[in-house]
Amino acid sequence: MTENLPKNPAAPKSTALLWTVVGGSIATVASTFLAWTWTTAFPGNLTVYGYPAELQLLTLVGAVLTAAHALSALGIKGLGWLTPTGARKATWILALGTFATTLFTALAIIVELGALVDLEPGAGVAVLAAALAAIAAYKLPDDTRKASPAKELPSWAEILLIVVVFAIGLFVVTFGIDTDDSEPQLFIAYLILVGFTATALIKSGLLARVSAITARNRQVTVTASLAAAIAFPFIQQSGDTYTLIAVNILIFATVALGLNIVVGLAGLLDLGYVAFLGVGAYTAALVSGATSSAFGVQFPFWASALTGMAASLVFGVIIGAPTLRLRGDYLAIVTLGFGEIFRIAMGNLDGTSGPKITNGPNGIPNIPQLEFFGYNFGESHTVLGIELGAYANYYLLMILVMALVIIVFSRAANSRIGRAWVAIREDETAATAMGINGFRVKLVAFALGAALAGLAGTVQAHVNTTVVPENYVFAGPVPPNSAFLLAAVILGGMGTINGPILGSALLFLIPAKLQFLQDYQLLGFGVALILLMRFRPEGLIANKRAKLEFHENDEQPAVPEPRPSEESGVGTAKAGA
């Protein structure tokens, strides 16, 4: 009977294309062990045979991931878990990312050294092989399907998987932060590959499956994430050089989480939020024993932190009480005015234009380092046989601060008042009709967000050892400022915890690493936000409500029912009798 069944003509073609992808990826991997240029004048030393440099390592990783996904589509045993919702899109995105990374490196060599002849044959092989894999992956038939229920894993296996995932994430983040600032080519190639890889993992359904496992093991996930964050300064190869970037990212992310309460949960557009960060920083500087402080007092850090939070909270109430009856653009304009008033006022409290409190434009310098029970944060210390510099000390402190902010945010969002914030955000008129006191609820959000920003400001003052008004503007070349904070919340995903953290990391790390593009930062962020609003309006990490709202009219891919004589997926053709 099987002799009369019609064969699927697409199966041999699909199999051939998949093996072409695998072959191109293997050739790309081999090319990374060849020299790509003849001179060490190009950063990264791509002249060595038999040992991939960092730029070549990125191409190697992309090619390996592409080959693995193609083999998964071929039905190779043990690799099916890579593509729960289909292999074609993920394979093509990975192949395209590998090609883009490789082509960028080759073009950078030509531009940097000035001639095409500066490329060694290894670079040509890499570009051609990566292009071949990308073209073959593009021509694959679409095999998008609904993910089948995942096989239940033993508890120990799920815990091990979570540990491995966070270990890989720690390595990827550390690799990006540790890239040499004098080699922007490496960081740009890193961004290209990470961006394509993340997109591919989403399209393949693998990220959703891992997220389901982490949701089932919430305590293990929290412990693993905390352990990975704490381990960061201990694995730094360059000492304290790049830990300062991590500290500033954490400060930026903490403030963004506070703004996320105001914008993401309550739906209040605040364009002057950075002023609350400044209130906390100035308060801590005035009461921490700085030589130029007008008060001449020195509180312990816990007291200065509480004082900074209280001052920011009071300012939040003072500003919010008369303005939160406004809505939309009117509220945004008022908060923008408050931010500018704060900056100008701090510049005028110099003893000439006003009382001598903040030293005007000169700010408050020489803020002393923190000290807990004899542990000076400004000095290096040896912990577990590893020397931690001053910024590593502040990094660990900010981990604790961010953990506190995350707990406050999550508890508030899931509480009764958090549900009231969401109701106000969705429809204030309907929420008021249901008995919610809109003004009071919004004032609580404004005050809580301001207090969290003030807490971050107290640490920022000690990290920078100087507080000046120019640090707290609406828009400027160096984050955090109000525009960058709002962009971080929108880019990452409003109303979530991980979203603003990811957005803050991207918006701080990219300008810090690509300083040669400083004049074009705002243009770049504007283009990025336009593209984001077009293709992913819910943000990089969206909550379920936002994702459903923005994609409720999207058409779901129709998956035809396979005939008895046809294979149910790419590369799983049944041999006819």
Residue 555 has pLDDT above 70, yes or no: no
Q: Give the C-alpha separation, 404 to 400, whole Å.
A: 6
d(CA 98, CA 209): 24
Q: Name residue 467's beta-bridge partners.
A: 364
Which segment of 286-295, 536-545, 563-572 scores lowest on mean pLDDT?
A: 563-572
Interstrand relation of 375-376 and 381-383 (parallel, antiparallel or unpaired): unpaired
Residue 472 has pLDDT above 90, yes or no: no
Q: What's the pLDDT tens digit per position in 520-547?
A: 777 777 777 787 777 777 778 877 666 6
CA nearest 173: which of 202, 198, 203, 194?
A: 194
| pLDDT at residue 234, rounded to an integer | 84
Count of C-beta atoms within a 10 Å radius of residue 163: 15
Report whether 127 contacts 102 (CB < 8 A).
yes
Are the C-beta atoms of residues 285 and 429 closer than 8 Å to each other?
A: no
Return the pLDDT at 544: 67
pLDDT for the residue numbered 546: 61
Distance, CA of 198 to CA of 469 (rounded, Å): 38
- Side-chain half-sphere CA neighbours of 494 within 13 A: 24
Q: Which residues on adjacent β-strands are paired with residue 350?
A: 356
Q: Calculate the alpha carbon distances from 179 to 34, 60, 107, 241, 510 in Å.
A: 22, 17, 20, 11, 11
Average pLDDT, integer, range 426-446 = 86
Q: Which residues pair with 375 in a beta bridge?
A: 372
| Prior bond of 479 cis (ω within 30°) | no
pLDDT: which is higher, 354 or 214: 214
Q: What is the mean pLDDT of residues 108-118?
A: 88
Query: What value does the mean pLDDT take over residues 416-429?
Result: 87
Judge whether 363 and 299 are in contact, CB under 8 Å: no
pLDDT band at 437 (very low <50, low <70, confident <90, very high): confident
Other Cβ atoms within 10 Å of 345 Cβ, number? 15
* Exposure string for 106-132, b = 16+ CB within 10 A, e = fewer: bebbbeebeeeebbbebbebbbbbbbb
Contact 132, 18 (CB under 8 A): no
**CA nearest neighbour of 96 among 55, 139, 66:** 66
pLDDT of amino acid 547: 62
More reliable by pLDDT, 5 or 79? 79
Residues 6 or more apart in contact with residue 571 via CB below 8 angstroms: 14, 15, 18, 73, 74, 75, 87
Q: What is the pLDDT of residue 9?
A: 41
In this predicted structure, what is the pLDDT of residue 553? Answer: 57
**Averaged pLDDT for residues 485-494:** 86
Question: What distance in Å separates the CA atoms of residue 416 and residue 444, rounded to the nearest whole number?
Answer: 12
Mean pLDDT over the full length of the chain = 83
- The Cβ of residue 556 has, within 10 Å, a number of other Cβ atoms equal to 8
Residue-level pLDDT at 565:
38
Using pLDDT thresholds of 50, 70 and 90, give the confidence band for residue 549.
low
| Cα torsion through 77, 81, 82, 86, rounded to 10 | 100
| Sequence spans of domains, the chain | 10-144+161-228, 240-550
Give the residue among 485, 450, 491 at the shortest CA–CA distance from 471. 485
The pLDDT of residue 548:
60
Cα–Cα nearest to 105, from 86, 89, 126, 75: 126
Distance of alpha carbon 62 from its chain centroid, rounded?
A: 20
- pLDDT score, position 351: 74
Give long-range contacts, CB 8 A cutoff, 24+ apart: 414-417: 417/441, 417/444
Amino acid sitting at position 17: L
Indicate the pLDDT class of residue 11, thresholds 50, 70 and 90.
low
Cα–Cα distance for residue pair 445/385, rounded to 1 Å: 44
Report d(CA 277, CA 315) in Å as an integer: 11
If we measure between CA atoms, which residue out of 123, 33, 137 comes closest to residue 92? 137
Give the separation between CA 36 and CA 48, rounded to whole angstroms. Answer: 8
Q: How confident is the model at residue 477 (pLDDT cuts 50, 70, 90)?
A: low
Sign of CA dihedral 249, 483, 272, 409: negative
Cβ contact 269:330 at 8 Å = no
* Confidence band, pLDDT 50/70/90 cuts, at residue 58: very high
The average pLDDT across 123-149 equals 89
pLDDT tens by residue, 227-261: 998 888 888 766 677 888 889 899 999 999 999 99
Predicted local confidence at residue 575, as pLDDT: 38
Query: Distance from first CA to last CA of the chain, Å, rounded?
Result: 9
| Residue 568: pLDDT over 60 | no
